[in-house]
Structure 1
Amino acid sequence: MNHVHTSLDRLLFNLVRRRSKMFIRNESFYSFRKNYPVITVLVAIHVILFLWINLFPFGDVILDRGVGSNIHVALAGEYWRLLTPIFLHYTLMHMVFNSFSLIIFGPAVEKILGTGKFISIYLLAGVLANVATLLLGDMYTRHLGASGAIFGIFGVLAYMIWARRDLIDRANSQLVVTIIIISLVMTFVNPNINILAHLFGFIAGLALAPLFLMGAKPFVQRSHQRPVHDQEVPSFNPDRWANHEKKKQKKKIIWITVGIIAVILIGIRMFG
């Protein structure tokens, strides 16, 4: 499963890097956080809960009470389990893959829809995907992950291609179609995937898109990011720019170190 996620991760990155300006991410962390607050918060929740359930006290309780469980919803009325699985991931690759997908494909949709509409359709698609799993899946099915909600975002993008071509250009349309096809194929290839959540998350996004996209404007017109300047012609004092670059490199080293330590600790906890 991890190998499949890693291979698909690289494939998605290469497709985006080569063919799209709408989905490529070249902002600083500060700029990304400012322009896409919902996605920033969602990814932070992914990371925090993943670390908590794997490393910290009561993590097993959070996992047990938050995981999607059809039998607990149907027989015990624990309806919060239709929502909480959207934020939980048990394996590192599952969390990284879903967070990566959200960071790549979510910003354009968040900017087009606006903060309120984006979080609403994201959560609705995820919940409806889990409802489909409850109604059509095995009674003893247990599931978790943001995939259903992310497929809801794919559904919104698919609707743009189909009925709102003013919101997405041809090159990005081709990229989205390619990604959706690959994702759907991988849904059926990997035996550990919640097929119902993927399919009905996508259908939910597709069905909700006409309502949520009313009055929407193209991504380019609503983007308030500062233009990217050619680094060879700096608009600031050269020394100040150099110092800024050094600070960025130091921050990268710190975050990479923290990430390596976290992975080691998780490995010790899970396999030690």
Structure 2
Amino acid sequence: MYRVKQLDTAVDLTDFSRWLKDQGVQHRITEEGDQQVLWLANPDHAEPVLAALGRFLAEPGVRHAVAEQNRSPVFVRGRWQPSPRHAPVVLGIIAVAVVLALVTDFGANALAATLMFVDPRLHDWGTFDGRLQALADTLASGQVWRLVTPDFLHFSWTHIIFNGVMLWFLGSQVEWFDGRGRLLLLLLITSLASNGLQYAVSGPLFGGLSGAVYGVLAYCWLSQRRHPRFQFPPALVTFAVGWMVLGFTPLTEALGMGRMANEAHLGGFLGGLACALVFPVRHRA
């Protein structure tokens, strides 16, 4: 064992020790008079463990998150692993998306038009003014559901599987920690932002949950800085933003990947950031 840190015995390291165990870090805490000593089996772990300990001691939010992980039924060996009963709303949204993808034959039949922002068969949406008029007529006729139903349009299995996995991983954490009401409001706002921006730029021929996924990711990332509770690799945000930026270049079409709904990604991401700034931080009991 390697001696890495000495602290006063008044500091409670119980939760931190349990967290290290869940991470697979072999360690031991001993007492020497009025001091306690942290020992590590592997000296290579010293730097990251000391960094984590520093945050644990300095930031109350980190201590709360570590304690919550230690007692939470949705963390297994320190990793986020919820079951369907922990996030029924997210699971239900994904299930509806799968069913509608099959019913619409992945956007290939006439039923898909009933889920689009406006019905492309009935309106002239080739110009921005035309799109505004089409939207005004659609809302005036009571078809308000079209503002969010493009989320449930998917055009391939890979499309819906990727969106579903990402929404489950991130959305289930929002539902668990911040509550179902917060999750539904977040999805509504990000859906309106993503679908509205995409429609304004390109018209109604788009669909998918990716705009909402970008919104949930942005919310988790920024809200996490105020109160740590979510678990996701920081590189995920870097990759998502990089992919979004790449989508605004001709490269994706040159590679045969087609044009992505980049404005939906951007709108959702901005909507998620706005929610993280406006929504008060909630502490789950």
Note whether the superposition's TM-score is higher than 0.5: yes
Structure 2: how far apart are the matches of 1:96 and 1:186? 21
Structure 2: how far apart are the matches of 1:176 and 1:167? 16
Correspondence for 1:120: 185
Determine which of 129, 150, 159 is the counterpart of 2:222: 159
**Aligned amino acid, residue 183 of structure 2:** F
Q: 1:181 to 1:133 in 2, by over 3 A?
A: closer
Correspondence for 2:244: 184
Correspondence for 2:277: 210
Correspondence for 1:242: none
Determine which of 137, 143, 146 is the counterpart of 1:81: 146
Which blocks of at least 5 consecutive residues in structure 2 are unaligned?
1-74, 119-124, 126-130, 253-257
Determine which of 210, 223, 227 is the counterpart of 1:147: 210
Q: Which has the higher contact order (CA 8 A, sep 6+)?
A: 1
Matches within 5 A, 1:34-53: 34-53=85-104
Q: Residues 115 and 146 of structure 2 are in contact (CA less than 8 Å); yes or no, is this contact kept in structure 1?
A: yes
Correspondence for 2:172: 107
Q: 1:160 to 1:179 in 2, by over 3 A?
A: farther
Structure 2: how far apart are the matches of 1:49 and 1:67? 12
Q: Residues 187 and 198 of structure 1 are in contact (CA less than 8 Å); yes or no, is this contact kept in structure 2?
A: no
Please say which of residues 87-96 and 185-194 is displaced more in the overlay.
Answer: 185-194
Structure 2: how far apart are the matches of 1:105 and 1:144? 20
Deviation at 1:157, TM superposition (A): 1.5
Correspondence for 2:105: 54
**Aligned amino acid, residue 272 of structure 2:** G
TM-score relative to the length of structure 2: 0.57
Deviation at 1:117, TM superposition (A): 1.0
Q: 1:149 to 1:92 in 2, by over 3 A?
A: same
Structure 2: how far apart are the matches of 1:160 and 1:145? 24
| Cα deviation code 1:100-130 (max 9, x no counterpart) | 1111222112212200110111121011211
Q: Residues 194 and 264 of structure 2 are in contact (CA less than 8 Å); yes or no, is this contact kept in structure 1?
A: yes
Structure 1: how far apart are the matches of 2:264 and 2:79? 27
CA RMSD of aligned residues (A): 3.0
Structure 1: how far apart are the matches of 2:233 and 2:277? 17
Q: 1:99 to 1:168 in 2, by over 3 A?
A: closer
Q: Residues 152 and 206 of structure 1 are in contact (CA less than 8 Å); yes or no, is this contact kept in structure 2?
A: yes
Which structure's residues are more often helix, by fraction? 1
TM-score relative to the length of structure 1: 0.59
Q: Residues 73 and 79 of structure 1 are in contact (CA less than 8 Å); yes or no, is this contact kept in structure 2?
A: no
Q: 1:181 to 1:129 in 2, by over 3 A?
A: closer
Secondary structure, aligned partner of 1:54: coil
Secondary structure, aligned partner of 1:144: coil
Deviation at 1:159, TM superposition (A): 1.3
Q: 1:187 to 1:164 in 2, by over 3 A?
A: farther
Deviation at 1:185, TM superposition (A): 4.0
Which blocks of at least 5 consecutive residues in structure 1 are unaligned?
1-20, 223-272
